[in-house]
Amino acid sequence: MNTTLAETAFPSGQSLQLVLGDITTEETDAIVNAANRHLQHGAGVAGAIVRAGGPIIQQESDGWVRAHGMVPHSSPAWTSAGELPCRFVIHAVGPLWGEGNEAEKLGAAVEGSLNVAEDLGLSTIALPAISTGVFGFPIEAAAQVILKTLGDHFSRRPASGLRQVRLVLFDRPSADACMQVWHDYFHS
C-alpha cells in the first residue's frame, strides 16, 4: 500500500503529494513512465509498468515510435494503461546523467508530462523520480528540478484541470532524499 509522506496545496486548490510506494498501483488518471527515447520498456520503472500492465503497453509504444519517431524530452508519448488501475501511461524521456544540460532536459520531461495530462483532460497523475534509476541522475538533484517544475507549473496555470500530482518514490532512501528537498522547497 502506498503511503503519502507529505502534501502541499496551492492557492488554486491544486495539490502535490510525496508518496512512498509502487507507482504501478496508483489509481490516478495516468502514471508517468521513466522511458527511453525508443520506448523499449525492459528495466526499472518502465519494465515494472509493462509487467504490471501487460504487453499492450509495449505494443502501443512500438506503434507510437513507428508513427512519430523517437520521443524527445519535451514531448512525452502516451499509451493506454493495459491492466493497470489508471487509464493512461505517459512515457517521459529524462536525461542520462553526464550527457549535458541534465536539469533542463529533466524539467522539460516533467513539464511535457504535465502538458500531455492536460491535453488528455486528466485531473490526477502520478510520476516517479524520472532519470534517477538506470539513467543515473542523483536523487537530490532530480528532486530539486522535479519539485521546482511542478511548483512553477501550478503557479502558472491555476485554472488547469490537472488538480493533483503524486510524486511516487519506490524506496525509503529516495523518499527520504526527496523529503529533505521537499522541506527546503516548500517550507523555506
Q: What is the CATH number of the domain that holds 69?
A: 3.40.220.10
Number of domains in the chain: 1
Residue 4 lies inside a defined structural domain of this protein: no
3-class secondary structure, 163: coil
**pLDDT value for 120:** 98
Distance CA 64, CA 61 (A): 5
Q: Is 46 exposed, middle or buried (0-12, 13-18, 19+ CB in 10 A)?
A: buried
CB atoms under 10 Å from CB of 51, counted, come to 13
> At 66, which helix (H) or strand (E)?
helix 56-68
Domain assignment present for 135: yes
In 25-150, at which residue ranges do the beta strands (DSSP E only) sit? 30-35, 77-80, 88-93, 124-127
> Domain range spanning residue 133?
21-186
The helix or strand, by DSSP H or E, that contains position 147, with its residue range, turns out to be helix 139-156
Would you write out the chain's pLDDT as a tens digit for each of its 188 residues?
Answer: 899 999 999 888 999 999 999 999 999 999 999 999 999 998 889 999 999 999 999 999 999 999 999 999 999 999 999 999 999 999 999 999 999 999 999 999 999 999 999 999 999 999 999 999 989 999 999 999 999 999 999 999 999 999 999 999 999 999 999 999 999 888 76
Q: Is residue 6 part of a domain?
A: no
Q: Is residue 3 part of a domain?
A: no
Alpha carbons 93 and 70: distance in angstroms, whole number: 10
Q: Do the domain assignments include residue 14?
A: no
**Contact yes or no for 18/178 (Cβ under 8 A):** yes
**How far is residue 45 from each of residues 5, 29, 36, 53, measured CA to CA in Å?**
20, 18, 11, 12
End-to-end Cα separation, the chain, in angstroms: 30
* Residue 75 belongs to some domain of the structure: yes
pLDDT of 44 reads 87
**pLDDT on residue 43:** 87
Flag whether 159 is in a domain.
Answer: yes
CA 111 to chain centre: 10
Q: Is 65 a member of any domain?
A: yes
